[in-house]
Structure 1
Amino acid sequence: MMDKKILLLSAASIATFLLIQTSKKKRQRSMWSRAWLQKRQEGRGVLSMVETELKDSDSEKYRQFLRMCEPQFDELLELIREDITKRDTILRKSISAEYRLALTLRFLASGESYRSLMFSTRIHESTISIIVPEVCQVIYNKLKDEYMKMPQTVNEWQQVANAFENLWQFPMCLGAIDGKHINFRAPRSSGSYYYNYKGQFSIVLMAVANAEYKFLYINVGVNGRMSDGGVFRESSLKKAMERNLLNFPPDQNLPRSNSGVPYVFVCDDAFPLSERIMKPYPSRNLSNDKRIFNYRLSRARRVIENAFGIMSNRFRVLLSTINLGPDKVETITLACCVLHNFLISKNSSYAESETESINPRLNNLNQLQGGNRPAEMALSVRDKFKNYFMNEGSVPWQNKCLT
């Protein structure tokens, strides 16, 4: 009996010893981990390299890393510095506003995971998970009023239409509409709520672009499971159009023509035809005049596809499956959209530098399911544009779509 007690006491002592040793090793690893991360304050880590080396010696690599040049970074930083600066504490020095912005831009540019960024930046992933959404929200809040403005007056809308006519030879066009799915890893509790027709979990970005690839309107956050008709139908844009709240220019004749039409938006088959929404003729057994209309509309509509492509190529997080919840994915998407407009406004060659490498892997909306038969007035407006492109609005190169 005594021997058994001795054995039990010995086993307990050994277990206690092993537990203490394991605890010591964990503390040692934790201390090593903290020390490794704290070396960022000694000027180690990729953000220090960008600040001290690339910034002064290689402007092109700097632009590639942060997806904007130094003057643009500095201007953006000054706009948001006050809102992203944190105070030092007794225990540690805070991460600077410069590093917070650079970290966020690198995340948007690369689509890297927080853990991957931790190893390159020496900022713990739990801290990164706080910084990135916070800075994205500040970017959107600070920039949206200046760089994401819907036209407010008749004159501003006419300027949009003039640009479409001059650049894309489609008159009386107020914008191109399309949507894109932003994929993410859905929360376990979400079920099929965000599950879209492509078998991915997503939220939808619906946008209107002007002739120069700038977003005039964005609507982010509708779950990817909703039908495409529902996305547009529930948007604030659709409701404002129905209530005549947008100060559109009055109907007028097409240029050099006696054919009066309303100002319109252009889109693809995923949207319903209406007096304000022009979409292609169905592709079966098309006559030449309908094929030419579809071609002319496609040239104007392509600006929204290119806008999505330019933005996604610059902020490649939008091409990944983002490992975050829907609320944070929405915040990230809003920041990317307003940064896209900010960069176009600051650099006219921004769009040109990205169009050559637009990634075709964009998750655009699928065709509408169901829907009402187009009203006679909507069909009439489309026919007037078709006839115009065959007569007063004809251009020599349009016939190449027939060959």
Structure 2
Amino acid sequence: RVAITINYLAHGGAMYDAGAVFGAGRTVALTAVHQVIAILHSFVDETIRTPTTQEEWSKICRDFEFVAGMPGVVGAIDGCLIRIKRLGDLDGWYCRRSYPAFNMMAVVDHRQRFMASSLRKGTQNDNSVFNRSIFARDILPNIPQGTHIVGDAGYQLLSTVLTPYPILSVMEAPNRWYNLVHSRTRIVVEKAFERLKGKFRVFKSDLSQETPTAMDSVIKATLVLDNWMIDLNATHNVKTWPLKIGWS
């Protein structure tokens, strides 16, 4: 069951095609994927989480500064569009690029590990998704004093959310330098999205589950798996795992 699910997430296509690789019939394959996705989804709260102690926050802050040179940073935030099939109810799903999608907000640490996420309909912009997220409501107000997350110009500048200066033809040197360090720090979240979509090629085509809830579960399952691989310091790309085993 696990092998079929990993194959489906890593290669995309139909679930029953993933089952055929292991000699499993259509019904068995569909059942296996649904079961494993449900199990992975049950680990969301304990796997995709922010620090719970001052020591954990401080370590992330130190590591961000070590990696990118910007002090006081405890996370990087951005949004990512995830294509989905055309649903019967189209209201709100079409994104700015004119296709149906989820807009996924994510906050990552210096290792590109997902600490928080929120999924909304594609018509909502990044700042709107952020404002409606549990992270913005419950977590951000309680991060250590003097720390902040970094986001692009699509987010509202707050004492806890630092955005870049507007790009002008003539900029003062300190502002240019700030933007450079800010970009170097924030790019970690863009790399996290790039890595996620590279590992899990199910995102290369439209998610085809019957309901938005089922699609949400698939997306969250990949975030859980991605975090586990970071925690285990996994070096294998799931696209090339040698899953040549039989079905029994």
Do both proteins adopt the same fold according to a TM-score greater than 0.5, normalized to the shorter chain? yes
Secondary structure at the residue paired with 2:62?
A: helix
**Separation in 2, partners of 1:295, 1:133:** 44
Secondary structure at the residue paired with 1:138?
A: helix
Q: Is the 8 A contact 1:213 1:304 kept in 2?
A: yes
Q: Is the 8 A contact 1:176 1:303 kept in 2?
A: yes
Structure 2 residue 175 is the aligned partner of structure 1 residue 290:
yes
Specify the code of the residue in structure 2 equivalent to 1:104.
T
Question: Structure 2 vs 1, CA of residues 300 and 335 (structure 1 numbering), >3 Å: closer, same or farther?
Answer: same
Displacement of 1:128 in angstroms is: 2.8
Displacement of 1:143 in angstroms is: 6.1
- TM (norm. structure 2) is 0.87
Structure 2 residue 163 is the aligned partner of structure 1 residue 279:
yes
Structure 2 residue 29 is the aligned partner of structure 1 residue 128:
yes
Q: 2:220 aligns with which of 297, 310, 334?
A: 334
Secondary structure at the residue paired with 1:284?
A: coil
**Separation in 2, partners of 1:144, 1:311:** 19
Structure 2 residue 68 is the aligned partner of structure 1 residue 205:
no
Match of 1:193 in 2: 92
Q: 2:56 aligns with which of 143, 153, 156?
A: 156
Displacement of 1:133 in angstroms is: 2.8
Q: How big is each residue's C-alpha offset from its partner over 1:169-213, in whole Å with a ceiling of 9 and x where there is no partner?
A: 1111010001111111022x2123311111111112211111111
Q: How big is each residue's C-alpha offset from its partner over 1:304-355, in whole Å with a ceiling of 9 and x where there is no partner?
A: 11111112111111222122232221101101001101001111656xx79x
**Separation in 2, partners of 1:347, 1:144:** 21
Q: Extract structure 1 runs of 4+ deviating beyond 6 A.
A: none
Q: 2:138 aligns with which of 240, 251, 274?
A: 240
Specify the code of the residue in structure 2 equivalent to 1:214.
R
Q: Is the 8 A contact 2:61 2:72 kept in 1?
A: yes
Displacement of 1:107 in angstroms is: 0.3
Specify the code of the residue in structure 2 equivalent to 1:287.
E
**Separation in 1, partners of 2:26, 2:185:** 43
Q: Is the 8 A contact 1:178 1:207 kept in 2?
A: yes
Specify the code of the residue in structure 2 equivalent to 1:105.
I
Using the aligned pairs only, state the percent identity. Answer: 25
Q: Is the 8 A contact 2:19 2:28 kept in 1?
A: no
Secondary structure at the residue paired with 2:110?
A: coil
Q: Is the 8 A contact 2:112 2:191 kept in 1?
A: yes
Q: Is the 8 A contact 1:144 1:338 kept in 2?
A: no
Specify the code of the residue in structure 1 equivalent to 2:158.
S
Q: Is the 8 A contact 1:133 1:331 kept in 2?
A: no
Match of 1:177 in 2: 77
> Where do residues 306-385 of structure 1 align in structure 2 (5 Å cutoff)?
306-325=191-210, 326-347=212-233, 349=235
- TM (norm. structure 1) is 0.55
**Separation in 2, partners of 1:126, 1:223:** 30
**Separation in 2, partners of 1:227, 1:210:** 22
**Separation in 2, partners of 1:136, 1:204:** 20
Q: Is the 8 A contact 1:148 1:217 kept in 2?
A: yes
Match of 1:87 in 2: none
Structure 2: where are the runs of 5+ without partners?
239-248
Q: How big is each residue's C-alpha offset from its partner over 1:268-309, in whole Å with a ceiling of 9 and x where there is no partner?
A: 112111111111111123222211111100011011111111
Q: Which has the greater radius of gyration?
A: 1
Secondary structure at the residue paired with 1:281?
A: coil
Structure with a larger share of its residues in helix: 1
State the Cα RMSD in Å.
2.0
Specify the code of the residue in structure 1 equivalent to 2:97.
K
Q: 2:8 aligns with which of 99, 107, 116?
A: 107
Specify the code of the residue in structure 1 equivalent to 2:6.
L
